[in-house]
Amino acid sequence: MKSIYVNQAKPGDELINEVFLMSDVVRRKTRDGRPFILCTLRDRSGQINGVFWDIPDYIDSILRPGIAILISGQINNYKNALQVNITDANITDNVDVSELLPASHRPIDEMTTELREIIEGLNQPWKELVSTLLLDPAFLVQYANAPAARIMHHAYIGGLLEHTLTMAKIADYLSTIYPYVNRDLLLSGVLLHDMGKTKEYAFDDEFGFTEDGRLVGHIVRATILIETAAAELDFPEEDLRNLIHLILSHHGTHEWGSPVVPKTLEAILLHQIDLLDSRIQGFYDHLANDGGEGSWTNKSSPMHGTELKIPPEFELD
């Protein structure tokens, strides 16, 4: 059981066998050849940098990304950000993973209810297809708990569903602004576009790629799942083709992994909505993980390629 979380940490706090998930382990040497490591320590509330000076060989040999680790040391303020000065580290198997993996601030049950309401608002045959795919009880558990990404944005339990629901709100609104939009097609594409990520990511102890994620990928996997369900439901061929185009093109460019680029109104909208929500949440996530106390982030955002200005009202949860 953890006694202190990252979002509660303050300079001067002493850590004694406090459990974290270790990531981003970088091994370095001082100018006189003494080994040390830089790392990131995570729990469900956020992440914090760590440094271990003069690290013993027997500890250095066990440290790697993705392990649960018991950390002892002191929290200091280094370059306007919190950092753990580690004095001891030990691997542990006795850990509740829910204490370590970040999760959406929105309750899963609340988001699942919202998902059902959106699906209920679809017309046939879209409602039947999306219900068959997403509301299967076993699949829904995976869909509701999966992250939307490993890093960058919505990289937490429930992130995929949170990302999808926000996109659905934007899509529904834009369908009332722009003429000629097929609302059912667009919303179905939003709800299904990332469903393959339930097979792409493993999140038992950290967010990593599965074998399916490495060899197939979520775009292809979603296409297979949708076409299989559509065949069993005798879904209209033209509607299916348009829906599959949305799935295949939602990354926008070949360089970003889309087999085809958006060529329909709904596909263009889906790509832009996906891009918008991922970039905005990526902004929030970087602020939350940066740990800075000034008006700008200490580190450059890997998504936005620059330091980010922190809104005056922004508060860490």
Q: How far is CA 1 from CA 10, 109, 138, 202, in A?
A: 19, 25, 29, 23
Residue 204's pLDDT is: 55
The average confidence (pLDDT) of the chain is 87
Q: Which of 92, 108, 123, 102 is nearest to 17 (CA)?
A: 92
Our CA dihedral for 248, 101, 131, 210, rounded to 10 degrees, sits at 50
Stated as kind and residue range, the H or E segment containing 49 is: strand 46-52
**Confidence bin at 153 (pLDDT 50/70/90):** low
For residue 169, pLDDT beyond 90: yes
- On whether the CB atoms of residues 187 and 167 are closer than 8 A, the answer is no
In this prediction the pTM is: 0.75
Q: What are phi and psi of 160, to 5 degrees?
A: -65, -45
For residue 74, pLDDT beyond 80: yes
- On whether the CB atoms of residues 187 and 194 are closer than 8 A, the answer is no
For residue 127, pLDDT beyond 70: yes
pLDDT of 240-285, one tens digit each?
999 999 999 998 888 877 899 999 999 999 999 999 999 998 888 8
pLDDT of 85-119, one tens digit each?
999 998 887 776 667 777 788 888 999 999 999 99
What domains can you pick out in the chain, each with its CATH number? 6-99 (2.40.50.140), 108-281 (1.10.3210)
Taking residue 275's Cβ as centre, other Cβ atoms within 10 Å add up to 14
pLDDT of 154-165, one tens digit each?
677 888 999 999
For residue 78, the SS3 value is strand
For residue 291, pLDDT beyond 80: no
Residue 130's pLDDT is: 97
Over residues 286-291, mean pLDDT: 77
